[in-house]
Amino acid sequence: MSSVMYKIERNIPFPSRAFKKNDSKDYPLEQMRVGDSFLVPFTKNRPCSKNINVPYTRARLMGMEVSCRTEIKGVRIWRTK
């Protein structure tokens, strides 16, 4: 059993995870109305569940309510409120 020594550091500022509007430029979230949707296509490098993490989280941070469903070609995200 090896022991790993970790150095405790103090007064290191915690990084902000604040949402920036520019981060959503790849997704049409700001233009969406209730009932609109878009497809996030599957890629060979990203498993199904990973395809929705970024757009889903960004929509929620923008105050939108969204629902996601898996389709044959990808994950579709609907704005519900």
58 exposure class (CB count in 10 Å sphere: 0-12, 13-18, 19+): buried
pLDDT tens by residue, the chain, 81 residues: 567 777 778 887 876 655 455 444 578 888 999 999 988 888 776 656 566 778 888 888 889 999 888 888 888 889 998
Place of tokens 């929509």: 59
Tokens of 17: 């995870």
- For the chain, what are the domain ranges? 23-79
With beta carbons less than 8 A apart as the criterion, state whether 79 and 66 touch. yes
